[in-house]
Amino acid sequence: MTSALSRSARRIISSNLTRTVRLQSIWTPDNVVKSPYKDVDIPNRTIIEHVWENLARWPDKTATICGLTNRSYTYHQLFKYSRNLASQLRSKLGITDGDVICTMMNNSPEYVLAVLGILSSGAELTTVNPIYTAHEVYRQLLLSRPKVMIGSTDTVNVIKESLKMANMDIPVICVTTSGGLPAHTISFQELTGDADHDVLKDVKITADDVAILPYSSGTTGLPKGVELTNKNVVVNCVQSDVDGVKQYRDTTSSHQESMIAVLPFYHIYGLSIIMLHKLSVGAKIVTLPKFQPNTFLSTLKNHKISLLYVVPPMAYVDQIVCGAAPLPKLDIDRLLDKSKIDVNFIQLYGLTETSPLVTTMVPGTKNYLTAGVAIPNTELRIVDSEMKTLGPNEVGELHIRGPQVMKGYRNNFEATRNAIDENGWFKSGDLASLDQNGTITISDRLKELIKVKGFQVPPAELESVLKEHPSVLDAGVVGVPDTRTGEAPIAFIVLNDGHKADVHGIKEFVATRVAEFKRLKDVVFLENLPKNPSGKLLRRILKEKYA
């Protein structure tokens, strides 16, 4: 997943919580735009140290609770049980500093516990979408080489199958909330029981060590491991605490923000902004395994939700952060027209590679097509195809520099060198412009990822699957507008000689090999595909000519 907020996220907050913030970004003589906010001190601590820094202020407040079953942990319990898990991971399963542990499950209080336990053990966390097929999981396993997998009863079979495909024999820990423990798995609940914490004295992880390893699919279709250090994530949390950027009210003896976590924790948006940052400020995280209207609405009511992070189809209530895909202005206007209170609509921008937050609109802004200004310690610039830095209102590729920019791509020097230059500028792959005040407008994306319901679908991945079909000689995939999903993939196929066109058969072939959101909307048969002289597929031509 290349984009944390998938190029943009939006937030609605009630007017009585907004403040008038008048800021002016600084254009330097070399056309670099600096943040209008005062720089924050960059903390030299790990994610775990940051999350628990203020534990003494709210030990008995609920940290996380299941919106369906009310299964919950207080902050003190979460601290205790996560340390138990960390100790058991090291003493019983042999985890050492820098090992990778992979999670594959839907949102739950135990997911929160697992993440904190993994990080406390000194291991790196990598996450997998729980609706992935074994083939998709297998690819990530080969790249990340985890020492342990943590799943649930509804994902453990896929985990086992993917491990078999990868020829890996590693422990599988299973979270069970009802029913028995699946064969050949280790009980998550037993590992969170009482344990000797002395072994945690051996953890020597520092702020500069990698903590989170999300996998980001590029236009090549090959996932890249994004190395986010403890410092990357922690500084992004601190940047998010500054007035004007801040999206929450402080936890006190009489107030605690309550928020639904229905956006998946395997996604950097859910993991960093919703889970880790909100734990660090003492909020209550109400988990839902998936979005279902009835349970979603009942959870809103039963848990008195005050802060809501959503994707575009879910935009309701009075405090909302909406991410994972752009929400059209027409939908924004409809939402605001239906609101019974005066609200502000705030758009954010970020990416997986930036931990994720980069820019935010100032409360009170009415220009809903912009994504605001750079957050503290962050610089922006726009460059043309010849890498010349452009001035105000000129469109080019957005480059970002700041302490939240990733360390690099795991074991991929070439991709890292292409993404981050020698001066620390990260190339976003997005077309954008900056106005005189440093306000950013995202115009388009240079990358060709297809956005389906907020999920990113790499065209080359589907092309690779299609070429495994015995009838397919060549294939090209592009995204087309879809009223229900935003975009949908459509395949252009060149058949092998003597083979017949079979739209249904090819769609079914792909459907058995990929997650539901990656399935093809349609198949079109062509005699040949447009390519440049070096043989590179010209998806732009496909889109313009046929889609």
Q: Are 126 and 226 in contact (CB under 8 A)?
A: no
pLDDT band at 364; cut points 50, 70, 90: confident
Among 25-29, 174-178, 384-388, 532-536, the least confident range: 532-536
Q: What percent of the chain shows pLDDT beyond 70?
A: 86
Phi, psi angles (nearest 5°) of residue 391 = -100, -170
> pLDDT per residue over 71-115, tens digit each?
999 999 999 999 999 999 999 999 999 999 999 999 999 999 999
Confidence check: pLDDT of 26 > 60:
yes
Cα maximum dimension of the chain: 74
> pLDDT per residue over 433-477, tens digit each?
999 999 999 886 667 889 898 888 888 889 989 999 999 999 999
Copy the structure tokens of residue 323.
């991410």
As a whole number, the mean pLDDT across the chain is 88
Find tokens 């395994």 and name the residue. Answer: 289
> Where are the chain's structural domains?
450-546
Copy the structure tokens of residue 218.
């590029």
Which of 22-31, 269-278, 309-318 is predicted most confidently?
Answer: 269-278
Among 32-41, 218-227, 311-320, 517-526, the least confident range: 311-320
> pLDDT per residue over 174-202, tens digit each?
999 888 999 999 999 999 999 999 999 99
Superfamily of domain 450-546: ANL, C-terminal domain (3.30.300.30)
Counted residue by residue, the chain has a size of 547
pLDDT band at 431; cut points 50, 70, 90: confident
- List Cβ neighbours of 106 (8 Å cut-off, separation of 6 or more): 130, 152, 154, 264, 289, 290
Please state, in angstroms and rounded to a whole number, the distance separating the CA atoms of residues 192 and 117: 9
> What crossing angle do the helices spanning 459-466 and 503-511 adopt, rounded to 10°?
110
Confidence check: pLDDT of 357 > 70:
yes
- What mean pLDDT is predicted for residues 135-162? 96
> pLDDT per residue over 231-246, tens digit each?
999 999 999 999 989 9
Angle at 475 between CA 470 and CA 481, to 5 degrees: 130
- Which ranges of 175-276 would DSSP assign to H, the alpha helix? 188-191, 230-239, 268
Confidence check: pLDDT of 339 > 80:
no
Phi, psi angles (nearest 5°) of residue 237 = -65, -45
Please state, in angstroms and rounded to a whole number, the distance separating the CA atoms of residues 326 and 277: 23
Confidence check: pLDDT of 50 > 80:
yes
Which amino acid would we find at residue 75? Y
Confidence check: pLDDT of 428 > 70:
yes
Q: What is the pLDDT of residue 419?
A: 96
Q: What is the pLDDT of residue 223?
A: 80
Find tokens 């459907």 and name the residue. Answer: 511
Q: Calculate the CA 28 to chain-centre distance.
A: 32
Q: Are 539 and 507 in contact (CB under 8 A)?
A: no
Phi, psi angles (nearest 5°) of residue 134 = -60, -35
- What mean pLDDT is predicted for residues 510-536? 89
- Among candidate residues 453, 452, 477, the one with its CA nearest the CA of residue 464: 477
More confident residue, 347 or 384: 384
Q: What is the pLDDT of residue 536?
A: 73
- What mean pLDDT is predicted for residues 144-159? 98
Confidence check: pLDDT of 123 > 90:
yes
Please state, in angstroms and rounded to a whole number, the distance separating the CA atoms of residues 296 and 294: 5
Q: What is the pLDDT of residue 328?
A: 53
Copy the structure tokens of residue 472.
């397919």
Can you list the pairs that 500-506 forms with residues at least 24 positions away whose Cβ atoms lie under 8 Å?
A: 500/471, 501/525, 502/471, 505/471, 506/466, 506/469, 506/471, 506/472
